[in-house]
Each structure stands twice: as C-alpha cells, then as structure tokens.
Structure 1
Amino acid sequence: MARRSNYLVVLAAAAALSGNAFASEIAPDAVEFADDGVMTSLTGVAGDPAAGAEVFKNRRLGNCLACHANADMADQLFHGNVGPEMDGVASRWEEPMLRAILVNSKKIFTDETVMPGFYSLEVGKNVRESSVGKTILTAQQVEDVLAYLGTLKE
C-alpha cells in the first residue's frame, strides 16, 4: 500500500508542476511588444531547436518554407521567395525581435505584410469560423521555432 501512495504522491507532484509550467504561459493578447521586440519568453521554457525545425517545415503548422528559402532544409521541396532567406537570420536579428516577428509580424513591419502573426488573435479577414479566437502556433511552438532560428547564423 505504501508503494501505491508514493506513486500517487509522485503523480500529484508531476501534475502540479505541469500546471505551473502552463500557468507561466503568456496569453496572445498579453504579449508585450517593446522597441527591441518581445523581451520575455512566452512560456518560460527554453525552446527546442529540433522541434522548431519540425514546425518550420511542417506544411500544416508553420509552413515557413512556403515563403522563405532555407539552405538548412535543402532536402525539403518548394522553398518560397516571398520572404527573406533564412540563412543567417540569427546574425541579422536579435532573439527578442525574432520572437516579436513570429508572434505578430504586423506589429513589427506593417499591416500589409503577408506574414501571419503566429501567436496572435489578429489573424486577418475572412478567417475560417473554427479558427476564430485561436492562434496558428502555440506559445511553446513559437519558442521552439525561435530556438531553431537561433541556430541559423552566418
């Protein structure tokens, strides 16, 4: 019986810790933009570059390759040329500015940019009804893509 109660205590502790991790997530409408970008992590959890690379190339998530060429992903098909190349992006932009661009590029560039705000509720006109009030990426996915972009230095 003691083993079972120890197991339940461990499960309860794990649940409490995971709840705390989510509690530190910044809501899309609470993200603070400064002149230098978004200074604070959206989750308080370090991004995973490998997971970020998967989001970057996933056509159902980030779909970043639809607009951006990326030599690091030369094995992937159909790189776009609408946005700037990603080669060396971490040498051109500091992390807070890259985070801001990912969260809501329209606040950094102009309302006319075709790049979506990946962690914004301001997603444009004629949004599919099932997508209203939702972000394209989760806060952790943004941090993961940011970590991946941080690996792309000249």
Structure 2
Amino acid sequence: MMWAITLALALSPGYEVVGDSIPEPLAGAVGDPARGREIVTSRQTGLCLLCHSGPFPEERFPGDLAPSLAGVGARLSEGRIRLRIVDPGSLDPDTIMPSYYRADGLDRVAEAWRGRPILSAGQIEDVVAFLATLKD
C-alpha cells in the first residue's frame, strides 16, 4: 500500500499559486476542450453536474448547489479556473467542492482517495480548456 501513496505523490507535482490563480498549466500539460467536456459532463469521472448546472441541454438533472458553469470562461481566467479545480478550499475553507488535484492535508476524504488526486494533471488541464470556452 505504501507504493500507492508514493505513486500518487509522483503524479501530483507541485504548482504555484499566484494571488487567486495557478497561472501555469499543471505539469506543462496542454488541455483538450473536447476531453474536458467529457469529464465535466461525466457522472463517473468529474461529477461536476452533481453540484453545477451549465450549457448542457442534453444532461438531465444538473445540480444547483454551486454556481452555474455558463459563462465561467468570461468571468474567470484559466489560472483562476485552475485553482478552483485544484484546490477550492484555498479560496473558501468552507466549500463543499472537493479538491480534484491537491491530495495532501485534506481531512474529509474517503479512504479510497486518501493521498491521491481525483483527476490527473492532464485531466485538470482538459477541464480548464473546456471551461475557458464557456463565454456565454
């Protein structure tokens, strides 16, 4: 079991927070908006639609616990979107949104996810690339 924790830490390289954003892509990854849309709308991978709604008319029963994703690309830079996905608790300690990339120092994490990120750096960048396209 120790190797899993070591592997997870290797998969979660550091990032630099500047103000309220992570301006540089994680691990130098370049995101793909089409793959990002798949992650955002997936009820198995990203689970974003449990809490968020957005411009996804084909998706039934979106959540209403969090802000709509419609227009997020017009409201936030890619760096600001990235920080909100990587570590939303750094902006709002009371948020119910999980940290999709940060894996250390978290206390309300299911045993299966302790010490490992929910999404890889590449997946985070895919989601950022997609959300940045949502301008309306």
Structure 2 stretches lacking a partner, 5+ long: 1-9
Which entry has the higher C-alpha Rg, 1 or 2? 1
The answer to whether residue 43 in structure 2 is matched with residue 63 in structure 1 is no
Question: Displacement of 1:33 after TM fit?
Answer: 0.8
Question: Displacement of 1:43 after TM fit?
Answer: 2.7
Q: Counterpart in 1 of 2:123?
A: 141
Deviations 1:18-43 (A, max 9, x none): xxxxxxxx963622111040011103
Identity of aligned residues (%): 35
User: How well do the aligned residues superpose, as a CA RMSD in angstroms?
Assistant: 1.8
Question: Displacement of 1:127 after TM fit?
Answer: 2.8
Structure 1 stretches lacking a partner, 5+ long: 1-25
CA contact (8 A) 1:29 1:121 kept: no
In 2, Cα distance between equivalents of 1:56 and 1:135? 16
Count of aligned residue pairs for this structure pair: 127
- Runs ≥4 in structure 1, deviation > 6 angstroms? none
CA contact (8 A) 1:117 1:123 kept: no
Local SS of the residue matching 1:53: helix
Question: Displacement of 1:126 after TM fit?
Answer: 4.8
In proportion to residue count, which structure has more helix? 1
Deviations 1:40-91 (A, max 9, x none): 11032320001001110112211101111112x1101110111111111011
TM-score of the aligned structures, taking structure 2 as reference length: 0.85
TM-score of the aligned structures, taking structure 1 as reference length: 0.76
The structure with higher relative contact order (CA 8 Å, sep 6+) is 2
Letter in 2 for 1:32: E
The answer to whether residue 40 in structure 2 is matched with residue 53 in structure 1 is no
Q: Counterpart in 2 of 1:84?
A: 67
